[in-house]
Structure 1
Amino acid sequence: MNKLRFEFVVKASVEDTKTSIICITSITDVDKNVFAIPEKYQPVKLHESIMKTEAFQKVKNTLQKRHDKRQVWISLTSDICSSYMDEDGNMQFKGYLLEEIAPKTQDQTQAAGISEEALSRILENFAEPRSDKLKTQSMTGLKEKFVIEKFTRKTSNVLQWITTFEAECTRLGIEEDTKRIEVLRLFLEESCLDWYSSMLIKHTVDSEWSLWRNNFCETYADKSWSPIRYAILFKYRQGSLLEYAVKKERLLLEINKSMDNSILMDLIATGLPNFVADKIDRNTLKKTEDLFSNIRGLEYLVEKKTWEKKIVGFENKIKEKNVSVQPCRICEKENKGKRFHPESQCWFKNKSSDKFKRDQVKSVNNYELETELNEIGPKN
């Protein structure tokens, strides 16, 4: 026996898991007998005789990242031989007799292409509960997976929103009360964040989810008729007919998610202009998609009406422009020359009117003064 094969593996340090160190995990002789080295003796800094060899310098330059592994044959020197073999030829290290690994187990592991350490990590990952995996996920990643809008004071149905939030939590495997409370903060805006801070102070994040849910519903439940009135009376004003219909459907579903489909279509249609709604055959509608299809086909009606308004407005501007082409008669009367602007906007019109009022006031005042003087001192 003139050489031994040492297995070098880059592993995490026991003292500091963030630090990687080179370890010697096993020794193999020329007869393919494999001897395992206990974990406490694996750090290469304990194997001073090996660190002095040229082979170790090559290994050190080769292994760059964690879990890298190399098996290297090293010639036996007197120093190495005394470190790993006793006088009877038994494999040992620092007085500890090394355990021989069954060749069958080692060969099977190598045939699979997976080290025992890697296999152990895989089994640990499978055994790890789903909730523990969620803890490692970032809050930003969870927020992107949710299919729900943020809650604000303008949200009309708080019970429906919180029910949807719970359904999304269940879909993503968020079942723990603490986790749901943490995620809830990501979907609150404006003054709702103040409510969340107050709840944290009073009950902490380790309280029950039902407590937070009930308090949330009681705080933001809208018991007035305003959202219902707004949704039902919402009508088309201008723009796209289809955009109106989609928004009206959303408003109605927010106040009552279980609303009957026929009632939903009736409320959407009654908000349309009469000349549009009268062109839709109510008996052919089975679902809201049918109504939307009909509405989309009638967009030309409101586009035509909008175009007619634009034409009328353009004609009015042309008429005003033609009127302004005529010279202003007020300016001509005041000997200001020919000026082209509407007489209603003529500056001299207002000036002449003010002058007339001042002359009239002056005449009246002189007449009253003369009358008073005659009464006080009549002429003889």
Structure 2
Amino acid sequence: MERIRFEFVIKAMENDPKTNVLCITSLEFEKHTYLIPEKLQPARLHEQVIKTQVYLKLKDTIHKRHDKRQVWIRVTPEIRGAYMDEDGNMQFKGYLLEECDIQKPAACISEEAMTEFFENFNACKKETGKSYNIKKLTEKFVLQKFNKKTSNVTQWLDIFEMECTRMSITEDSVKIEALRLFLEDSSLDWYSSMLIKYTLNSEWSTWKENFCETFADRGWSPVRYAILFKYRQGSLMEYALKKEKLLLEINKTMDSSTLIDLIATGLPNFIADKIDRCNIKETKDLFNNIRGLEHLANKKYLNNNAGNLGNKNKEKDSNYKPCRICEKENKGSRYHPESLCWFKNNSYNNKREHIRTVNNSELETELNEIDPKN
């Protein structure tokens, strides 16, 4: 079955650049492509084409300027009469169409040329790598700075080397220069000393060995702290994540089962007992269970506070006895120190007033008995 492939393009109208018009720019028949002159490109002039079902689909497909589609249309007697003359020449409305010669792809490049190209490319890449801004390059490192809180120096240095490999930093001098940007505290003084002794042109292995020997923690303190770290208060998830980090810092090759056991044993017993150990295969499974038990930790915290308050009240009751002064004054059982009792002072004042009254009466009697003439 004979077919012609038409190329449709939405272009600006010649007289009105703001208006779009659907045009047919070329057609392909029997592996030959023919160009349609610009004045004959508007699709409305191709009466036999716009009657086909393919054209109706095309109108719903492309809408924006410069949109392009190539579609096949079956050669009917009407299509043949519109685009071919009696001698088989491609034409449209009496205009013989120009055939377009399509350039064939260039021959394959020889193996020698490809080899030479890649050698030149690698050489250029090396030269370009030397001019890299080390500071900008290391900003992409996924690595925390080394300081006194870093527990495992060997593991930290391994991560540094992996990041250098990821960023294509292979030269020893560049690694040494990049190392300075990830040091803090006393490690910066170590770097300055090493720079004086060995310079930037030394081997990376020398710096690595010296770094590990200088800052390696050969004691058990980090290990003890990581293993004995337990939940005290606050968020359960924060505890679990920190415990995992501490354990991996001392041994990143620790298997998942051991990691899960050590994290779970640091939880309160009443929370850990609610987690089914058989269903925990990875640390993420443990974290999911812990997240669902956060409310228990909060409830326990509130109960502890209430219990502490009750204990304080009990202590208060046991330390203070009913005030005897209040009992004598018939004021009921009141719990406060007798030295601070208000009724004690009131009783004392009443007693003083009573004494004054008695003394005044006696004085008045004595004065009456004395002879006024004297």
Give TM-score scaled by structure 2 length.
Answer: 0.51
1:305 Cα shift?
1.2
CA offsets 1:342-377 (integer angstroms, 9 cap, x no match): 5399599xxxxxxxxxxxxxxxxxxxxxxxxxxxxx
Q: Is 1:285 the equivalent of 2:245?
A: no
Q: Is 1:157 the equivalent of 2:136?
A: no
Residues 54-133 of structure 1: pairs in structure 2 closer than 5 A: 129-133=124-128
Residues 145-294 of structure 1: pairs in structure 2 closer than 5 A: 145-294=140-289
Contact 2:325 2:341 in 1 (8 A): no
1:135 Cα shift?
3.7
Q: Is 1:343 the equivalent of 2:337?
A: yes
The share of aligned pairs that are identical, in percent, is: 62
Distance 1:321 1:267, change over 3 A: closer
Contact 2:135 2:178 in 1 (8 A): no
- Partner residue of 1:55? none
1:127 Cα shift?
6.7
Residues 276-315 of structure 1: pairs in structure 2 closer than 5 A: 276-312=271-307
Distance 1:344 1:239, change over 3 A: farther
Contact 1:265 1:287 in 2 (8 A): yes
Equivalent residues, number: 217
Q: What amino acid is the match of 1:233?
A: L
CA offsets 1:192-247 (integer angstroms, 9 cap, x no match): 00000000010011110000000000001111111111111111111111111111
Distance 1:138 1:317, change over 3 A: farther
Distance 1:316 1:148 in 2: 49
Contact 2:323 2:338 in 1 (8 A): no
3-state SS of 1:145 partner: coil
Distance 1:127 1:250, change over 3 A: closer
Distance 1:142 1:346 in 2: 75
3-state SS of 2:139 partner: helix
Give TM-score scaled by structure 1 length.
Answer: 0.51
Q: Which runs of 5+ in 1 are unaligned?
A: 1-122, 334-339, 349-380
Distance 1:161 1:280 in 2: 33
Q: What amino acid is the match of 2:303?
A: E
Distance 2:268 2:339 in 1: 39
1:143 Cα shift?
2.7
CA offsets 1:88-134 (integer angstroms, 9 cap, x no match): xxxxxxxxxxxxxxxxxxxxxxxxxxxxxxxxxxx9x9676334334
Q: What amino acid is the match of 2:202?
A: S
Distance 1:344 1:230, change over 3 A: farther
3-state SS of 1:286 partner: coil
Q: Which runs of 5+ in 2 are unaligned?
A: 1-117, 329-333, 343-374
Alignment RMSD, CA only?
Answer: 3.6
Q: What amino acid is the match of 2:299?
A: K
Q: What amino acid is the match of 2:176?
A: I
Q: What amino acid is the match of 1:180?
A: K
1:288 Cα shift?
0.4
Q: What amino acid is the match of 2:244?
A: E
Distance 1:321 1:230, change over 3 A: closer
